[in-house]
Structure 1
């Protein structure tokens, strides 16, 4: 049995996932980089293993339950422990609901929601048997409130918050901790890689990047600190407090902001 703690990070090749992998390695955790992108995964594996064995890349498609079950089970069988499971893989999608097809919905739900459900279901079962472990599911600030023009994305993220905060209390009896990570504006490739439905993606990305961006490294440190405190919801506190105040105390301001989002976003419509 490996004496170091072991973590699996899905979507671990870029953005927040990559930063989390690096942060975990800096804390002497052995990391399984699980991602569909083998080329960049191998590069990250080599980078993290420059001085000593710290990580391994494993190809993973989170929308395939059998693949998820195989990867997580094999890691546990090899190391005889699974301390952290970061279900982090996800995609973004912009578009108004009347422009979307059922296939669009399926694409984002398969990755952002089913990918989390698959990982949680398999990881939870394993952790229950071993009597310890921490599951961390990546949601978004969009999972804590409305997100017009990206309703499909927000739908999946709200579902992840509901799943994770509910399991947080279910799992306590078995020695398992469960947290949801709700990033705000983080400077990652997710904006550029997003699916844009009848929207000029470059205009949308330009608008989004006007926001004050947090680096993935900053978010990773916040994430690990929140994990150590076993927080049900891990979110940069200024944004969380602002959202709570705006949504609860100033509902009229909240409505104004959401209407402004719609107005600005619709300027990027293609037709």
Structure 2
């Protein structure tokens, strides 16, 4: 059970949940450029098929699979189907996620359940299904998509931040256990990336309380100040870090300054975040 048996990335096989759009689709495109075969799992099967077809047209190897990460049996079936067909699973990218915006007071319990089911249980399902296979074959790399909101606060996205913090904790802990078995684990903590989640929380997200036009304009200005990066640029940098087997992958790298500041001065950073938020509400 040696790490060197994993393929980085030429000749490798990867499953990507949430692979039809945003970061997932960008990872699929970049992985295939590097010689990896990808399976794009997503509820949006038509869109996943379009992405896979475009990849194949460009010379890459990609297939689409209808998948809801909330359904463990479906995730497990896709993992075993992939291994039975290809003989291996080098990478499991647990990337599916949704967001909701609004203050805590407007949440209903079903809103919490919806976010936790996709963002947290979806990752757990991918880990549970892939880890067993990777232990059997003696190699593999699990990569979970969290967020900068999994390292810092995210006012207005309470459930999102909750699940992303949980993913970071899961990934760090599993990384220690898995390393002793020759398995790698990393977690993505992206800042703002131009994906559907930025635009009203994406297809499956939800705006729980509509901002006023003035508030929306201020929030849009805040997002632009954070300089969102294109998902394809994110994928390039992220996969370079995966190849180096980095544990916590923060992109853009400038966001590491905010993370370090928060770790050094947590109370001060909470105060500063609250003060800055007041300018936008």
Query: Same fold, TM exceeding 0.5?
Result: yes
**Any conservation in 1 of the 2:142–2:186 contact (CA below 8 Å)?**
yes
**Any conservation in 1 of the 2:33–2:60 contact (CA below 8 Å)?**
no
Where in structure 2 are the equivalents of 1:221-240 lying within 5 Å? 221-236=236-251, 237-240=253-256
- Cα 1:116/1:251, change in 2 over 3 Å: same
1:12-52 deviation per Cα after TM superposition (whole angstroms, max 9, x unaligned): 11111111101100000001011111111111111111154
Residue equivalent to 1:199? 210
Residue equivalent to 1:157? 164
SS at match of 1:8: strand
- The question of 1:171 aligning with 2:182 is answered no
SS at match of 1:242: helix
1:237-259 deviation per Cα after TM superposition (whole angstroms, max 9, x unaligned): 22112321244147425412234
Which of 207, 211, 217 in structure 1 is aligned with 2:232? 217
- The question of 1:73 aligning with 2:73 is answered no
Q: CA separation in 2, counterparts of 1:13 and 1:43?
A: 8
- Cα 1:123/1:244, change in 2 over 3 Å: same
Q: CA separation in 2, counterparts of 1:161 and 1:253?
A: 20
- Cα 1:208/1:60, change in 2 over 3 Å: farther
1:219-243 deviation per Cα after TM superposition (whole angstroms, max 9, x unaligned): 1112111111111100022211232
**Any conservation in 2 of the 1:185–1:212 contact (CA below 8 Å)?**
yes
Which of 36, 46, 62 in structure 2 is aligned with 1:39? 46
SS at match of 1:180: strand
With normalisation by structure 1, the TM-score equals: 0.91
With normalisation by structure 2, the TM-score equals: 0.88
**Any conservation in 1 of the 2:261–2:269 contact (CA below 8 Å)?**
no
- The question of 1:257 aligning with 2:273 is answered yes
SS at match of 1:32: strand
**Any conservation in 1 of the 2:152–2:262 contact (CA below 8 Å)?**
no
- Cα 1:92/1:201, change in 2 over 3 Å: farther
Which of 81, 92, 97 in structure 1 is aligned with 2:104? 97
**Any conservation in 2 of the 1:147–1:258 contact (CA below 8 Å)?**
no
Count of paired positions = 264
Q: CA separation in 1, counterparts of 2:75 and 2:266?
A: 43
Gaps of 5+ in 2: 1-9
